[in-house]
């Protein structure tokens, strides 16, 4: 999460099929709840699947989803297989707005 500066960990199983996500917000919440994350399985605290988009979605529609759900990261998937992780900064850095 820190190394890639994405604020999210994507949990995948065989062939990069998305199982869930775990965000920096999730980490803060479990710390505030007093959950011992050293002894807690990720499957107990992750969000199942997360919000995903297909690779043919327009950038403006991806941004609308981010705004609608108050999130900064989207998973780009095809048939539940992770292709990419896109962060709002990726969109803002392409200078179309």
pLDDT in tens, 3-55: 767 789 999 999 899 999 999 888 888 889 988 888 999 999 999 888 999 99
Token reading at 84? 């990419």
Stated pTM of the model = 0.81
- Distances in whole angstroms, Cα of residue 45 to Cα of each of 20, 29, 30, 66, 75: 10, 10, 8, 22, 18
Tokens 């199982």, residue located = 19
For the chain, which residues make up each domain, given as ranges? 8-92
- In words, the CATH class of domain 8-92 is alpha beta
Which segments of 1-97 does DSSP mark as H helices, in order? 24-32, 42-45, 59-69, 88-92
For residues 27 and 37, the answer to whether their CB atoms sit within 8 Å is yes
């Amino acid at each position: 999460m820190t190394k890639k500066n994405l604020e999210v960990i994507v949990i995948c199983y065989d062939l990069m099929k998305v199982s869930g996500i775990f965000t920096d917000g999730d980490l803060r919440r479990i710390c505030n709840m007093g959950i011992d994350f050293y002894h807690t399985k990720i499957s107990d605290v992750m969000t199942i699947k997360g919000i995903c988009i297909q690779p043919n979605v327009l950038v403006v529609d991806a941004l609308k989803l981010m705004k609608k759900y108050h999130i900064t990261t989207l998973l780009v998937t095809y048939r539940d297989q992770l292709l990419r992780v896109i962060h709002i900064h990726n969109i803002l850095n392409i200078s179309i707005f």
